[in-house]
Chains A and B, each alone.
Chain A
Amino acid sequence: MAEESHIPQTVISSRKRKVGHRKGNKVMKKRKPFLGMAERVKKIDPKLKKFLRKKARDYNSDVEEDEEEGSLNDKEGFTNVDGDDYGDMEDGSDELENDSEGSETEEEDGEIQPGITKFSEGCRAFRMAFKSIMKKSVSNDSLGPVLSGHKKLLAEKLAEEAAERKVHGEAKKEKQLLGEKGHLKPANYLDSHEKFLISVATKGVVKLFNAVNKAQNAQKGLNPSRSKDAKVIKKRRKEAFFSELGKTPGAISSAKVNSFSTPAEAEGPSWAPLRDNYMLTSSKFKDWDKMPDTAVADDIGRMSEDSSSDDD
């Protein structure tokens, strides 16, 4: 594993980097303590070495491009995120370069370093890079840390989205407003109009209750379910009815309190046949002129019916 990771880097670097060659010396010196170990490996047959190298190249031929791209992207990302850390970044990449150059020089010497050494070096570089990233303070940008080169595009897109949402919201609000048309929240206090309405309603209730009181006072103490009492009740009601009839029509309290009205409209008598428009409103007498004889009889029958029903 370590070896593999080591070899591709050499390949890439051999292509990419030819400048900064001199820097590598330092690394060379550093490497020396490991040479002892390297010498043991050195005994590898040159044929085998060649084969290995070729194999490694083949292996990395497709990875190469990706890696290149990746590194490119990385660099762009680093530079984009923050201007302040630029120097730091440079340091980190410098070191990376150093490593790669070191390996390059080694290769030129015809030495292959065992993976272990390389690993430790790479690890350090990685650590440095990682450290520098972690050190960075994230800017308070609304976008947050974006490692993409399309920061501007992204911002544009977000702004567009926001505008769209705004338009959408406004349309929705308008629709809701239309739906709320006529909807009125009542005030906490009672204004004069409401008070007037309540007083009208109260008058109506009082009128009904008094009427009920008057009607039910007559049958007080009697149980309508008992036949003896029922007879008495019937008699009393009849009396009450005839006494009502004797009064002036305006004074009669309506039998159907449901249809009672406030003084403004309490003009006609409540008993239907006494009303002026009795024949007009009643559907029974619509065609009264067509069959005069039967209609009259019907009328009488109806009147008696009415009186008896009012009796009850």
Chain B
Amino acid sequence: MARIRNKKRKTFVKPVKVKKHANVDHITGDKVPKSFVFSRGKLPSPLKQLQMDLRKLMLPYTALKLKEKKRNNLKDFLNVAGPMGVTHFLIISKTDTAPFLRVARTPQGPTLTFKIHEYSLAVDVAQSQLRPRSPQDLFKNPPLIVLSGFGSAEQHLKLTTIMFQNIFPSIDVNTVKLSSCQRIVLLNYNKDTKLVDFRHYSIRLQPVGVSRRIRKFVQNHQVPDLRSLQDVSDYVTKAGYGSESEADDEAATVTLTSDLNRVNKASTKSAVKLQEIGPRMTLQLVKIEEGLCSGSVIFNEYGTVVDKNQEGRKQDNTEDSSEDDGDQEEDGDEEEK
């Protein structure tokens, strides 16, 4: 009897996983950034889905099936993060006013708090499209990141830029394989509204200068319908209806150095086509803290930046009254620590 019990208890011990990816990239020698995406507090189902979408977006260097419990506090995640080499936390929380996304660097911070004004899930995006695209190896490689409109004048925008640049592994131009560049994350800062548009696209390359029919024929592996044609040559010479649209985006063509896949061979011209895969978010930078969800406030959207010598705790208390409940939860985290 006792033996069985012992066995049972053993199952509670979390087995240390053998990591597939080393902490250090074997080519560039840089430390590979890894991330945890988790939530604080109870989330409604659409936000849970958003969390899952974000995890997929952060693949492959993230915990896709991270299990969190109600009693897990930030310290628990931090404890696990050390040995696992996790460098970034993406924390989703929900208040009465709006959902919030916090992007933090572990273990020391800083923490950026974003208010999520609007969001669409990957499912919604796929539903809105006629032909949603999901190749098998889409999530096998980390995405590229494009930051636009951030400028370098303001301190908090600079910090945001650095944060997001480092959240994905860097790319060495000399060794990178273009076939591994499948996805792109775009963050576009709008100066007027102070909102950040967060988008996630898949990259597709199409050979240029070939008629649509030929292209489809090569891509699809399917026998075309020749019933209405007199001769096989008609199939090639007859202009397709969709081929005109290619002409307009001349800027979006690239020349390839190596073979990308069966269709896009080396030294051919290809057009870059982006298709959204979601999730989609409209973020507003609300606050930057020095520590991990704690510490003095570097930047605050609502209140004026108070004297930096002041205690962080004091600031938090004053801001809570003017701001929203999102920070109270953070206070709770601080107390737990």
Contact = CB atoms under 8 A, between A and B. Distances in A.
Interface in A213-248: 213-217, 219-220, 224, 237
Interface string B253-267: 111111000000000
Interface string A298-312: 000000000000001
A180 B145 CA distance: 28
A257 B129 CA distance: 30
B144 A204 contact: yes
A54 B144 CA distance: 103
Interface string B119-150: 11100110111000000000000001111111
A312 to B, nearest CB: 8
A261 B188 CA distance: 11
B256 A200 contact: no
Interface in B276-309: 276, 280
B117 A205 contact: no
Given A182-B117, A209-B254, A204 B148 contact: yes
Interface stretch (B11-19, B69-77, B161-169, B311-319): B161-169
B161 A205 contact: no
B52 interface: no
A218 to B, nearest CB: 8
Nearest to A275: B152
B178 interface: yes
Contact of B254 (A213, A253, A257, A264): A213
B47 A200 contact: no
A184 B197 CA distance: 14
B251 interface: yes
Contact of A180 (B46, B152, B280): B46
B242 interface: no
B186 A201 contact: yes
A275 to B, nearest CB: 10
A210 B173 CA distance: 10
Interface stretch (A95-103, A166-174, A185-193): A185-193
A193 B175 CA distance: 35
Interface residues of B, number: 61
B163 to A, nearest CB: 12
Nearest to A183: B46
Contact of B174 (A185, A193, A205, A219): A219
Interface string A234-275: 000100000000000000010111110110110110000000
A264 B170 CA distance: 21
Contact of B44 (A176, A256, A312): A176
Interface string A77-88: 000000000000
Given A203-B251, A216-B258, A261 B150 contact: yes
A258 B98 contact: no
B248 to A, nearest CB: 11
Interface residues of A, number: 50
A200 B148 contact: yes
Interface in B42-98: 44-47, 94, 96, 98
B176 interface: yes
A255 B197 contact: no
Contact of B149 (A183, A185, A213, A264): A264
Contact of B257 (A203, A205, A216): A216
A153 interface: no
A210 B147 CA distance: 18
B36 interface: no
Query: Chain B: interface secondary structure?
Result: mixed
B60 to A, nearest CB: 16
Contacts of A193: 197
A71 interface: no
A202 interface: yes
A187 B129 CA distance: 9
A179 B144 contact: no
Given A182-B98, A205-B203, A258-B144, A215 B171 contact: no
A182 B121 CA distance: 11
A185 B46 contact: no
A206 interface: yes
B116 interface: yes
A186 B119 CA distance: 9
Contacts of A182: 98-99, 116-119
Nearest to A193: B197
A265 B174 contact: no
A244 to B, nearest CB: 12
A207 to B, nearest CB: 9
A208 B176 CA distance: 10
B118 A184 contact: yes
A186 B145 contact: no
A144 to B, nearest CB: 38
A261 B147 CA distance: 6
A187 B128 contact: yes
A148 B184 CA distance: 70
Contact of A208 (B144, B251, B258): B144
A279 B117 CA distance: 37
Given A182-B99, A216-B174, A219-B174, A268 B257 contact: no
A265 B161 contact: yes
Contacts of B94: 179
Query: Closest 3 A-B residue pairs measured CB to CB?
Result: A179-B44, A204-B146, A209-B254
Interface of B: 44-47, 94, 96, 98-99, 116-121, 124-125, 127-129, 144-152, 161, 165, 168-176, 178, 181, 184, 186, 188, 197, 199, 201, 203, 249, 251-258, 272, 274, 276, 280
18 contacts: A180-B46, A183-B120, A183-B121, A185-B124, A185-B128, A186-B124, A197-B188, A201-B146, A202-B274, A206-B253, A209-B256, A210-B255, A216-B258, A237-B174, A257-B144, A258-B145, A259-B165, A312-B174
